[in-house]
């Protein structure tokens, strides 16, 4: 099974993925962007570089997705794959920036992945209040610096994107305890294996 964990920055993706790594030691843990050497360079360029063009940002993320699918996902389809982000994020960020219509985004992401999309996606959803609190506790990267309104729009777009891509989608309240969230995700994985 290929499972993607999605959510806006500070939603708890990294925490949950580390817990899943311990619970499923045979799983392949990966991430988008940055799950390959090329992807790490692309991720750094987008998050910390001087890009002006949002279209360039979209195309770089699509390039990362294509490389990640070819180098990491396809060779490991016989294993449990747990990915921090996926095509769902790529679509959501591009949709919020109004770069192109949904049908075009679906087509571009299907092209980049060769149609190999996650079997299931878990979206960790934060309340506006919890997001504001979590952001106040850390330094912001280029995406986080766009503010809570932007990130909440991304959160809604994540859900829309997962459905537009036809992926089995599970939205989890990310304000719950870490243990409760882990239990929900673990139940989902075990039920699908």
Report the C-alpha gap between 20 and 25 in whole angstroms: 8
CATH no. for residue 153? 3.40.50.300
Q: What is the pLDDT of residues 28-78, one digit of tens each?
A: 999 998 899 998 999 888 878 888 898 998 999 999 999 999 999 999 999
pLDDT, residue 142, reads 57
Token pair 């459905």: residue: 163
Quick one: which of 162, 64, 43 has its CA closest to 106? 162
Helix/strand/coil percentages in the chain, nearest 5: 60, 15, 30
Range of the domain at 39: 2-192
Q: What is the pLDDT of residues 89-109, one digit of tens each?
A: 999 989 998 989 999 999 999
pLDDT, residue 79, reads 96
Strand order through the sheet with 81-84: 28-31, 81-84, 2-7, 120-125, 168-173
Report the C-alpha gap between 32 and 49 in whole angstroms: 17
Domain count, the chain: 1
Q: How far is CA 30 from the centre of its chain?
A: 11
Q: Kindly report whether the global pTM for this prediction surpasses the value 0.85.
A: yes
């Amino acid at each position: 099974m290929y499972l993607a964990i999605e959510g806006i920055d500070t939603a708890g993706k990294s925490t949950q993925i580390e817990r899943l790594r311990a619970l499923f030691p045979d799983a392949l843990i990966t991430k988008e962007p940055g799950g390959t050497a090329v992807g790490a360079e692309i991720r750094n360029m987008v998050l910390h570089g001087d890009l002006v063009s949002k279209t360039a940002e979209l195309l770089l993320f699509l390039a990362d997705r294509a490389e990640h699918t070819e180098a990491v996902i396809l060779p490991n389809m016989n294993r449990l794959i747990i990915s921090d982000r996926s095509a769902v994020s790529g679509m959501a960020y591009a949709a919020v920036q109004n770069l192109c219509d949904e049908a075009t985004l679906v087509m571009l992401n299907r092209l980049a992945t060769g149609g190999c999309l996650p079997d299931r996606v878990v979206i960790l959803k934060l309340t506006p209040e919890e997001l504001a609190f979590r952001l106040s506790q850390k330094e912001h990267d280029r995406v986080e610096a766009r503010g809570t309104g932007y990130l909440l729009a991304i959160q809604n777009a994540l859900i829309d994107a997962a459905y537009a891509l036809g992926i089995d989608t599970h939205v989890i309240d990310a304000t719950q305890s870490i243990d409760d969230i882990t239990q929900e995700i673990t139940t989902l994985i075990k039920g699908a294996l």
